Amino acid sequence: MKVLVIGGVAAGTKTAAKLKREDPSAEVTILNRGEDISYAGCGLPYYVGGVIADRGELIVNTPAQFEKLTGVAVKCGVEAVALDRSARTVTARNLSDGSETVYGYDKLVLAVGASPVAPPIPGVDLENVFFLRTPEDAAALRLAAESGQVRRAVVVGGGYIGLEAAENLAARDIRTTVLEMAPQILPGFDQEMAAWAEDRLADQGVMVFTNERVTAITGEGKVEKVLCESRKMKADLVVLSTGIRPNTAWLADSGLDMVKGTLLTDFHGRTSDPAVWAVGDCAMVHNLIIGAPAWSPMGSTANIAGRSAAVNLAGGESQYQGVLGTAVCKLPGLNAGRTGMSAAQAAAAGIDAESVVCVLGDKAHYYPGAGEFIVKLTAARADQRLLGIQVLGEGAVDKMVDVAVTAITLKARLTDLANMDMAYAPPFSTAIHPFVAAVQILLNKLSGRLVSMGPADFQAGKAEGYQVLDVGKAPAVEGARFLDFTALPAGMDGVEKDSKLLLVCTKGRRAYLTQNRLRALGYPNTVVLEGGTTVNGTELVK
């Protein structure tokens, strides 16, 4: 069997290596446009920041090393330019001399990846304007950052790579600003969670401006300013992180099924041509929850999809169930992680869902270094099936996310998760694990034991007509009446029993306890503000 793999990096090399292990007799050849066949793309921001000191650490294997390790033939510096499906051939151009060679195949794997999208604005070709996609990009950006001539940097794009670039530039004491044309950073998070992260970034000196469309980059040969529709910003360096586009233009006339240039595949990795597979950033996979095609340009997806496709190429059976949009990101003073559906995504998919926002300890409160998680948990209302989680905090947010990934993959309901025997010791967790605590809080909300309002609803004005009661341990909400529930008498002077009361404390727990006490005393119309002043701030009274 002759298998031709177009592209390397994560998906192409993983497919080729696994295929040779599955079927050592297969004749496998990789055609790769660049000279680096296998590098750690996700590590590029950390090379820029100096966390990874040596560029060589980013290179997983050289072409020669890969050939020796796997038995796969590797040809670099060649670019596929045409596909003839009927003849089962690919024409590739040698980038050094322009000559063309036709390669035959029995089976073809398209792992051509994606390239950065340059915004259609003046100035993107100025000196000190960078992308961050390849080791060469990272090396050039790091050289500029280390030059001593960069005081201000602007990152255009508030996705994960852009934010990681911002973190690593800021770590070099470069004043860094993030501009995002969307209403929020952190795609896949709900708006109120992203807004909280934006505030924390500002506390760390990284300013974020959303709803900002960049119109031009200006300067005399070198970048000096970034122009937006509503502001101008001085900059010595610009990183463009405005999205990527699959490298499939050469396949436009191939007849393969695509959506916006991304190749459609089945659960085995096959395209609409049974002799052609597609993996990595150029290919669609599937959403694990609803089964619809999903684009997941992540190194994790590329590796898993590539491995699965290789098993099928060799005649085995491997079905890639799909993705959950799982992501984790290290930011200045903050970690962010998410998986599954946000509340907004569930609504868009027509799923009747309920969510809760809660503030939970990431380890025993008395243990040195203890911090907090801001958690948003979402579940289907009908069957209480877990749909998604979003977590922000200084601690191990990935642990929370990975538990949720396991639960969602196994289609677990909240009741299946409410009393899990999770690992506990003070340096690692709380006695009731924060994931389990979040599940229990959402169950309370679904059952009506907790009547609460999320930050998004509060910001949308749904607390109109409610009197705000500050029920924390000490007064904190400006202009609100303070109430200590532990000293609560039979009633409250000046507050009618049918009054609509919004209960606010620091995190939400004390407000829940107050709600229980007030309900017993005949106050039925109380609502807890989820996340308390930690998420919503203290200026809550108009």
**Active-site residue list:** 42
CB of 165 closer than 8 Å to CB of 132: yes
Task: Read off φ and ψ for residue 334, nearest 5 degrees.
Answer: -160, 140
| Nearest of 51, 214, 234 to residue 128 by alpha carbon | 234
Which residue is listed with tokens 């991304």? 262
Rounded to an integer, what distance in angstroms lies between the CA atom of residue 239 and that of residue 118? 11
Distances (CA, A) of 78 to 5, 38, 81, 112, 136: 12, 15, 9, 12, 18
| Nearest of 118, 149, 138, 132 to residue 235 by alpha carbon | 149
Helix (H) or strand (E) holding 277: strand 276-278
- Buried b / exposed e across 283-305, counting CB within 10 Å, b at 16+? bbbbbbbeeeebbbbbbebbbbb
Helix (H) or strand (E) holding 528: strand 526-529
Task: Read off φ and ψ for residue 515, nearest 5 degrees.
Answer: -60, -45
Rounded to an integer, what distance in angstroms lies between the CA atom of residue 418 and that of residue 440? 6
User: In 3-state terms, the chain is what percent helix, strand and coil (to 5)?
Assistant: 30, 30, 45
**296 conformational bin, left if phi > 0, alpha if psi -120 to 50, beta if neither:** beta
**Total residues belonging to the chain:** 542
Rounded to an integer, what distance in angstroms lies between the CA atom of residue 385 and that of residue 434? 18
Beta-bridge partner residues of 182: none
